[in-house]
Structure 1
Amino acid sequence: MDPDSDVKPAGGGSSYNKAGMGVKECQNMIRRSLRTPMVKFLKQQMGKSGCNIGDNFIKAVNCQQSVAGGYISGEGIVICSNRLTMQDEVTQVVIHELIHAYDECRSANLDWTNCAHHACSEIRAGHLSGDCHYKREFLRGFMKLRGHEQECVKRRVMKSLVSNPNCPEAAAKDAMEAVWDTCYNDTQPFDRAP
């Protein structure tokens, strides 16, 4: 993949829109994120599912789109260095995208062009990665004491799904609602939502 090309991730992309850092600095942050307990656990679980992650599976690139990163089926994870500024952001995107990679690894027929499949993985990634923790929501300008996590997951799933050319807004909403309960309650590879 050309580092200056548009990122068109299979599993959608985590959305951010800001001037970020250089590729080399981001690559160093990716290395640090690989030492965090949650990333180590996800990598270990992928290995147990038969999908070992090589050294080049997660790489920093400059992205044209306003996304923080994405999972590209058959290639790996890209982290958009020019859209991120802090270690916590890089680690969060790595975790989110590793959940997409895990979903594809454990499923023999995951089809990213299928709105329901895409919605399910986005629901799981949003719920299990901590993307919608109240602290992150507060920093984004969303604050609600009750029900914020599910609202956040739904908002972020829809944002990702409508970027999929196969999922116009009405189809995206229908797909998300159809798979919500099953996918939100699927916490694999965790015993429960972290």
Structure 2
Amino acid sequence: MEDTSKRQANGQNDISANPDLSGLEWWKRNLKYRLGLTTDEKEKQKFEHDYRIKQLPKQCTTCEEGLDWMLKYSPSVIFMMDHVKKQGGNINRSNIKCDVCDDLKGGGFNPDLGILLCSNWIRDKWHLEDILTHELVHAYDYLKFNVDYNNLKHHACTEIRASMLSGECRIWNEIKKTGFGGFGKKFQSCIKRRAILSVAANPRCSGAEEAEKVVESVFQSCFNDTRPFERVYR
């Protein structure tokens, strides 16, 4: 989870008809973009923005339906919801929100507001399961270990644990992304990569170099801590 002060929902809710989002013009722009024929940066940004807006109704509905399913049937989500509750937390359906996010993140946790799921960046319900479990680990850590996001080591540790325990770094996912090379190191490499990106985005961090040093300094102890799970399946 990144510092939630840096994560804000996009206020764009107006999905009224736009002639550029349908018919022949939409198809032409889509084809140009997918074939790499669009070189103008503003045109690329406009296409990406318009594409997300076009997809919003479907994405939001899919996110809400996936969330309801996970809260009823997902072993990892139900398990983490239970352990957050045991720590005195109050994460429930009313404060887990699907919304549009203006950056390339899947979700976020805020101790005062709850959990945000970024419907415009969630690929499918299994991706949603990983993201929700990730954010529930942050909620658990915040309550269990009194996490202070101004402390970069605290931030790094909860990111390491969330990526490890959520399933998002499972080895098969990494093989699909990067191939079989370095098979034995894929799980840890994924966790470190995600943690570094998150810590680097913390306003207290000077950048990627400091983030990498902080993550390395706490990695082994945080990686070895699988609470509340007994063990991790890769």
Q: TM-score under structure 1 normalisation?
A: 0.85
**Partner of residue 172, structure 1:** 211
Distance 1:173 1:189 in 2: 26
**C-alpha displacement at 1:2, in angstroms?**
7.5
Q: What code does the residue aligned with 1:99 have?
A: V
Matched residue SS, 2:102: coil
Structure 1 residue 122 displacement after superposition: 0.5
Query: Structure 2: 5+ residue runs without aligned partners?
Result: 1-6, 13-50
Relative contact order: is structure 1 or structure 2 higher (C-alpha 8 Å, sep ≥ 6)? 1
Cα deviation 1:39-67 (Å, max 9, x = unaligned): 11101111111113232221100011111
* Separation (CA, whole Å) in 1 of partners of 2:143 and 2:11: 26
Cα separation, 2, equivalents of 1:2 and 1:70:
9
**Displacement, 1:3?**
4.4
> What is residue 41 of structure 1 aligned with on the other side?
79
Instruction: Quote the Cα distance in structure 2 between the aligned partners of 1:137 and 1:113.
Output: 30
Paired residue total: 182
Residue 148 of structure 2 corresponds to which residue in structure 1? Answer: 111
For 1:138, the equivalent position in structure 2 comes to 175
Q: How many angstroms does 1:172 deviate by?
A: 1.2
Partners of 1:142 and 1:132 lie apart in 2 by: 14
Letter in 1 for 2:163: G
Q: Which protein is bigger by CA-based radius of gyration?
A: 2
Q: Which amino acid aligns with 1:193?
A: V
Report the residue type matching 1:162 in the other structure: A
With over 3 angstroms needed to count, the CA separation of the structure-2 counterparts of 1:2 and 1:146, relative to structure 1, is closer
What are the within-5 Å matches in structure 2 for residues 1-194 of structure 1? Answer: 3-5=9-11, 21-34=58-71, 35-108=73-146, 110-141=147-178, 143=180, 144-167=182-205, 168-194=207-233
Q: Residue by residue, what CA displacement relative to the aligned partner does 1:86-120 show, whole Å, maximum 9, x if unpaired?
A: 11111110011111111001123x11121101000
User: How big is the shift at 1:153?
Assistant: 0.7
Q: In the alignment, is the contact (CA less than 8 A) between 1:115 and 1:171 conserved in 2? A: no
Percent identical pairs in the alignment equals: 33
Residue matched to 1:11: none
Aligned-residue RMSD, C-alpha: 2.1
Paired residue type of 1:155: R
Structure 1 position 30, deviation (Å): 0.9
Query: In structure 2, do the counterparts of structure 1 residues 96 and 142 end up closer, same or farther at CA, with 3 Å as the change threshold?
Result: farther
